[in-house]
Structure 1
Amino acid sequence: MSGESPKAIFYALAANLGIAACKYVAAAFTGSGSMYAEAIHSTADCGNQLLLLFGLRQSRKAPTPVHPMGSGRAINYYSLVVALLLFFVGGAFSVYEGVQRLFAREPLQHVYIALAVLGISVVLEALSLRGALREIRAREPNKSLWRWFRETRESDLLVVAGEDIAALAGLAIAFVAVLLTLITGNPVWDAWGSIGVGALLMFIAALIAREVKSMIVGESASPEMRRDIEAFLRARSEIRSIINLITLQWGKEIVVAVQAEMIDYAESRAMVEAINVIEADLQAKFPQVRWVFFEPDFAVR
């Protein structure tokens, strides 16, 4: 997702606002625990998307003496908060609601309303997920979804896609639970549906939190970006050899630290000018590279 156009978040927010309203109405009419769990989940998702939008705004703050490299990684913090909310507010609450209904079984009413709302919700969530997948494919057209999930450095898009996948799978579980309750007349299916939705949300939230935690600790640029940067530097005629190369993802931007042995220059000023040219060309070729720290040195023979 681009730093200036978080369209996937807006798609998800619009979808979840409509879905949450429909689910609360259906839960009130039917008394369905699965439906109530799904309504809570959609409400939590709305709050999560608002947090992501706030996090994106925070991440665009200009550098200050306290934060000389800006606040680009703030979005990772807010993404982790969203993952925790998804785990506890969405997942743990749904499990709790399901366990409660296992012991206090109440028959469902107006079940067809619940099924209709779940069907509408599937369509809306699918549209939201389609928006997120379009953003992903625009950036990584040749990667599988799982590989992108493990290698992406965009925590906001990671959270949105994970929430949408969890929502669609949760809707499928809730639909089957309500349908089985209708067929058998036994509300225990609805209770287990609520527990299943909660367990699924907790599992996906844990996966998201693991990936975002890695970003907070500090990840390099993506493997492809790092290879391209290294290839660019090795192709430069001014550089004899690369001693060390470090890349660091900083929000939407990248920090590059290079330790290299330069070719022989008659004057130190000429070498400094050559380094300045390399840095400018690097940033021109890779606009994501915001900071370059270049240290000339001698390679150990």
Structure 2
Amino acid sequence: MAGGSKKVVFAAIGANAVIAAAKFTAAVVTGSAAMFSEAIHSTVDTGNQLLLLLGLYKAAKPADREHPFGYSKELYFWSFVVALLIFAVGAGVSIYEGIHKIIAPHAVENPLVNFVVLGIAAVVEGGAWLLALKEFNRTRGRYTIPQAVRRTKDPAVLAVLLEDSAAILGLVIAFGGVAGSYFLNMPVLDGVASVGIGLLLAAIAVVLAVETKALLIGEAASPEVVAAIRKLADQHAHVAEVNEILTMHLGPEDILVNLSLDFRNDIPAGMVESTVTELERQVKETMPQVRRIFIEVQSAKAHAEQVAQADNPA
């Protein structure tokens, strides 16, 4: 997944950097607030994707004494920073510029320049969006896109997909604002389009922030992964009962598992040890994304009492 994430991010950086320069040039030549908002949008996207690359790089660092579980959550942190920047810079500047243009509207000059730049941007952004969608579809399985957005554990691909989707919609809004401003002789529509782009970015930022926050504070593995772990444990004849399976994503491909098992009372301690070793090997071979697994030996009765005490503290 990391390789796929990097490919998507690199493609987005290249597309947005070129488009941002073209949009800024068009905004200066024509005086369009909507085009200026789009230029800010592409610039923010470029900076955000550089931050995602930083997150991917830092997340790959090996575990050490200070961080025994590794640095996988670095990606989640930097993805959350990206959401904040989209909201604060992208949305904030676009809405401010749009309101300023609505209060003091002026005609857009040389609109053909805007149309040409928007057309080129649509082609380039569309290619980057298709690449991000392809990578996203590769992992979403049988779920719909909205369901997959809520379930994804890879915020890098999600961020690029959301940003590219917003970029395409932003181009449509900008085109409508520029065209309406020129052909209807209503310069105020250019400002309205800028505000619309800002609101779109704010919505994207909120979605990304909510999903990344869930991962940052600790989100469980998918039900399919938990069910597969339970099935492997149940297959061992010496396991009397699976008390509890706790999982947490430390990164897109880094799952921490805590497994509480009740073993049969008539087996020797050596058999318990060999079963634990074998089960750990099976889980990691079947699900390589499970990097760390801790197996706790505990009677079902003791576990139930512990859970009840935790749910009803004195």
Per the normalisation by structure 1, the TM-score is 0.96
Shift of 1:209: 0.3
Aligned residues: 300
Provide the C-alpha distance between the structure 2 equivalents of 1:231 and 1:126, rounded to a whole number of angstroms: 43
Cα distance per residue 1:105-141 (max 9 Å; x no partner): 1211110110111111111111111111111111123
Q: Work out the CA distance in 2 between the residues paired with 1:120 and 1:230.
A: 52
Q: Would the aligned equivalents of 1:153 and 1:222 in 2 still touch at CA under 8 Å?
A: no
- Please give the secondary structure, in 1, of the residue aligned with 2:3: coil
Distance in 2 (CA, whole Å) between partners of 1:96 and 1:148 is: 33
Amino acid at match of 2:296: E
Letter in 1 for 2:289: Q
Aligned: 1:283 with 2:284: yes
- Residues 247 and 254 of structure 1 are in contact (CA less than 8 Å); yes or no, is this contact kept in structure 2? yes
SS at match of 1:233: helix
Distance in 1, matches of 2:77 and 2:184, equals 46
| Deviations 1:243-289 (CA, angstroms, capped at 9, x unpaired) | 01101101120011000112345421221111101101110111000
Aligned mates of 1:189, 1:235 — CA distance in 2:
66
Amino acid at match of 2:173: I
Give the conservation status (yes or no) of the 8 Å contact 2:140–2:152: no
Partners of 1:253 and 1:155 in 2: CA distance: 13
Paired position in structure 1 for 2:130? 130
Structure 2 counterparts to residues 15-30 of structure 1, below 5 A: 15-30=15-30
- The 8 Å contact of residues 232 and 282 in structure 2, kept in 1 or not, is answered as no
Q: Does 1:257 align with 2:252?
A: no
Structure 1 Cα separation of the partners of residues 234 and 249 of structure 2: 21
Determine the C-alpha separation between the residues in 2 that align with 1:227 and 1:175. Answer: 49
SS at the partner of 1:248?
strand
Aligned partners of 2:250 and 2:264: how far apart in 1? 31
Q: In the TM superposition, what whole-angstrom CA distance separates every residue of 1:164-220 from its partner, at most 9, and x where no partner exists?
A: 111111111111111111211111000000000001100110111011111111100
Instruction: Kindly report the root-mean-square deviation, in angstroms, between the aligned alpha carbons of the 2 structures.
Output: 1.3
Letter in 2 for 1:181: S
Aligned mates of 1:92, 1:199 — CA distance in 2: 9
Secondary structure of the corresponding residue to residue 4 of structure 1: helix
1 CA distance for matches of 2:204 and 2:107?
30
CA contact (8 A) 2:236 2:275 kept: no
Q: C-alpha separation between the residues in 2 aligned to 1:242 and 1:76?
A: 31
The one-letter code sitting in structure 1 at the alignment partner of 2:7 is K
Match of 1:13 in 2: 13
Identity %: 35
2:309 maps to none
> Conserved in 2, the CA contact under 8 Å of 1:20 and 1:40?
yes
SS of the residue corresponding to residue 153 of structure 1 reads coil
The answer for unaligned runs of 5 or more in structure 2 is: 305-314
Show the 5 A alignment for 1:121-160: 121-160=121-160
Q: Deviations over 1:46-81 (max 9, x none)?
A: 000000000110011111111000000110000000
Q: Does 1:119 align with 2:116?
A: no
Q: Distance in 2 between matches of 1:232 and 1:177?
A: 58
Counterpart of 2:57? 57
Q: Residues 159-174 of structure 1: matches in 2 within 5 Å?
A: 159-174=159-174
Asked if residue 294 in structure 1 is aligned to residue 295 in structure 2, the reply is yes
2:26–2:114 Cα contact (<8 Å) kept:
yes
Distance 1:74 1:265, change over 3 A: farther
CA distance in 1, matches of 2:188, 2:28: 18
* 1:3 maps to 2:2: yes
Question: Partner residue of 1:267?
Answer: 268
Q: Separation in 1 of the partners of 2:231 and 2:133?
A: 30
Query: Residues 213-256 of structure 1, C-alpha deviation per residue, up to 9 Å, x if partnerless?
Result: 11111100123222222223223333221101101101120011
